[in-house]
């Protein structure tokens, strides 16, 4: 009977460690937007354009 409790305890510890340090615990890398796909960049383009002399 003690072996059953030990097995349940080991399985529980393994599951908790997997959830804490497993592959899904890492944050996703930030999504990089190209300038021509960025609406803020396109909206700000007129203000940053130099004036013709």
For 17-42, the pLDDT digits (tens) are: 998 888 775 677 787 878 778 888 88
Q: Looking at the predicted structure, is the pLDDT value of residue 53 above 60?
A: no
Does the model's pTM come out above 0.75?
no
Mean of the per-residue pLDDT values of the chain: 83
Helix (H, G, I), strand (E, B) or coil at 30: coil
Neighbours of 41 (CB within 10 A): 13
CB 15 within 8 A of CB 9: no
């Amino acid at each position: 009977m003690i072996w059953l409790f030990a097995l349940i305890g080991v399985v529980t510890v393994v599951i908790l460690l997997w959830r804490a340090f497993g592959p899904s615990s890492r944050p996703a890398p930030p999504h990089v937007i190209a300038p021509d796909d960025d609406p803020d960049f396109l909206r700000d383009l007129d203000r940053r354009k130099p004036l013709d002399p």
